[in-house]
């Protein structure tokens, strides 16, 4: 916004929006046509499941760069630290289904958009 870019958010509008950000009101599991007519240079998604990612990609149509905020929960808790991007994903006994769902969402994204970026920020207990 400070650089004069148009910034959009997609959410249900249940809380006050950031001033200057353009709202696209909708639910990610009922997108219908709410993204029709838009073309985004960049998309940032924090979805949790394969369904989240798949439905968003289907509703988006054409877009520039896709950035998915995943989680380090995709790594088994026994993965040596510091975590490396190329470390194998797998079941994490601490984060359980959350980590597995994020890993499946990553896979769905990579199948549809091999050029997408995936960030796996660490979580703390």
pLDDT tens per residue, range 49-95: 999 999 999 999 899 999 999 999 999 999 998 888 889 999 999 99
Instruction: Record the pTM.
Output: 0.90
**CA separation for the pair 31, 42 (Å, rounded):** 18
* pLDDT of 35 over the 60 cut: yes
According to CATH, what is the number of the domain 8-119?
3.40.50.720
Cα–Cα distance measured from residue 114 to residue 70, given in angstroms and rounded to the nearest whole number: 15
Place of tokens 């499946």: 104
Nearest to 88 by CA among 62, 110, 77: 77
SS3 119: strand
Q: Do 10 and 35 form a contact (C-beta atoms < 8 A)?
A: yes
pLDDT band at residue 26 using 50, 70 and 90 as cut-offs:
very high
- The neighbouring-strand residues paired with 117 are 67
Q: What average pLDDT is seen over the chain?
A: 94
């Amino acid at each position: 916004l400070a650089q004069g870019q148009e910034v959009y958010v997609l959410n249900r509008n249940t809380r006050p929006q950031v001033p200057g950000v353009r709202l696209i009101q909708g639910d990610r599991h009922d997108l219908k046509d709410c993204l029709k007519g838009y073309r985004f240079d960049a998309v940032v998604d924090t979805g949790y499941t394969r369904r989240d990612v798949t439905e968003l990609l289907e509703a988006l149509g054409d877009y520039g760069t896709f950035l998915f905020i995943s989680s380090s929960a995709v790594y088994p808790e026994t993965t040596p630290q510091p975590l490396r991007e190329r470390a194998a994903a797998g079941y994490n006994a601490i984060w359980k289904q959350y980590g597995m769902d994020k890993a499946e969402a990553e896979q769905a994204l990579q199948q549809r958009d091999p050029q997408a970026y995936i960030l796996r920020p660490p979580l703390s207990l």
